[in-house]
Amino acid sequence: MERFTGISVFVEVADAGGFSAAAARLNLTRSAVGKTVSRLEQRHGVRLFNRTTRTQNLTEEGQLFYESCQKALGEIKTAESLLESGRREIRGRLRISMPVLFGRQCVAPLLRDLLQAHPHLEFDLSFNDRVIDLLDEGFDLAVRNAPLGNGAGLMMRTVAEQRMTVCASPAYLEARGMPKKVAELAAHEGVVYCRGGEPRSWTFPAEGKAAEAVLPQARLRLDDLAAIADAAAAGFGLAWLPCWLVRERVQKGELVRVLTDRPGLIFKAHAVWPQTQHVLPKLRVVIDKLANALPRIME
């Protein structure tokens, strides 16, 4: 244990800028601090400080040793903090941002389950389809389906995969026929997603070659996925939508999935949070819940 005491004293001297200042912080004599550092130097066979009557500056070896020791002591403090937090009930408030439809239908129910399990946990939930800036806007966590960009200052964990599918109402397919190939979709009427004036092509991965992309004819263009599902169920054409969104309609017979032999494009859903030395228990329990439960919803 003495060797660890010596390390903590050494780090305190480096932080304080001298033996006297460190002694005052540690409630020790200057002589005791000096002897502790000297024993540390003797044990490792290096000089850690260049000493004068007025100053003590780290040597090159001392600087390298200091950086490693500082990191190690920080990890120990983090571990102690996590042990302590593990003894307490999960509590505290989190501000969480998520896409409107995906958040309302998939994420929010899981968070409500957490509130029931942890009575001292609080959530402020924001539903917004724009990519918010967590650091500038003060959010603790965001669930994102969009690309992450450079992710500077952020940490990320993939929590689910969303597979896309083509579907249409039974009445539409009876009238226009069931497409058998991706290329046939271009001749069909579609209900397409359009934001910013640009309709989004429907993409189908192909093993060993470039993905196929197609955009059917579309008299109806919408910027809301739920409205697209409504229009498809009403017979206005084919729609390209996440499987989780249309599952219930397919089970009820309101929609029929098309080209089921072709794998759908997959969009990854991520939990994103500001970079930190360790994840607080209240945040960890949310991220783990999403990673464990969302994939079952996405199937």
Query: Could you say which of 86, 104, 133 is where a domain stops?
Result: 86
- Mean pLDDT is highest, among 24-33, 45-54, 124-133, 238-247, for 238-247
- The Cα 104–Cα 196 span in angstroms is 23
CATH number of the domain within which 118 lies = 3.40.190.10
Domain co-membership, 151 together with 291? yes
What pLDDT, on the 0 to 100 scale, is given for residue 114? 95
Domain co-membership, 131 together with 206? no
Query: Could you say which of 67, 86, 105 is where a domain stops?
Result: 86
Residue 208: pLDDT band (50, 70, 90) is confident
Parent domain of 192: 163-266
Domain co-membership, 167 together with 237? yes
Residue 88: pLDDT band (50, 70, 90) is low
Domain co-membership, 69 together with 81? yes
Domain co-membership, 168 together with 262? yes
25, pLDDT greater than 90? no
- Assign 3-class secondary structure to the chain: CHHHHHHHHHHHHHHHCCHHHHHHHHCCCHHHHHHHHHHHHHHHCCCCEEECCCCEEECHHHHHHHHHHHHHHHHHHHHHHHHHHHCCCCEEEEEEEECHHHHHHHHHHHHHHHHHHCCEEEEEEEECCCCCCHHHHCCCEEEECCCCCCCCCEEEEEEEEEEEEEEECHHHHHHHCCCCCHHHHHHCEEEEEEECCEECCEEEEECCEEEEEECCEEEEEECCHHHHHHHHHCCCCEEEEEHHHHHHHHHHCCCEEECCCCCCCEEEEEEEEECCCCCCHHHHHHHHHHHHHHHHHHC
What pLDDT, on the 0 to 100 scale, is given for residue 5? 67
What pLDDT, on the 0 to 100 scale, is given for residue 33? 87
- The Cα 56–Cα 49 span in angstroms is 6
Domain co-membership, 169 together with 229? yes
Q: Among 133, 106, 110, 137, which Cα is nearest to 123's?
A: 110
Domain co-membership, 149 together with 175? no
- The Cα 139–Cα 282 span in angstroms is 14
Domain co-membership, 73 together with 114? no
- The total number of structural domains that make up the chain: 3
Domain co-membership, 182 together with 226? yes
Domain co-membership, 273 together with 231? no
What pLDDT, on the 0 to 100 scale, is given for residue 85? 54
Domain co-membership, 176 together with 251? yes
What pLDDT, on the 0 to 100 scale, is given for residue 169? 97
CATH number of the domain within which 59 lies = 1.10.10.10
Higher-pLDDT residue of 216 and 55 is 216
Higher-pLDDT residue of 146 and 25 is 25
CATH number of the domain within which 196 lies = 3.40.190.290
Average pLDDT, the chain: 87
148, pLDDT greater than 70? no
- The Cα 165–Cα 47 span in angstroms is 67
Query: Could you say which of 49, 70, 86 is where a domain stops?
Result: 86
Domain co-membership, 60 together with 107? no
Query: In the predicted model, what is the mean pLDDT of residues 65-93?
Result: 73
What pLDDT, on the 0 to 100 scale, is given for residue 172? 96
Of the candidate ranges 98-112, 145-159, 198-212, the one whose mean pLDDT is the lowest:
145-159
What pLDDT, on the 0 to 100 scale, is given for residue 121? 93
Q: What are φ and ψ of residue 129, in 5° steps?
A: -85, -10
Query: What percentage of the chain has pLDDT greater than the value 90?
Result: 46
Q: What is the CA radius of gyration of the chain?
A: 29
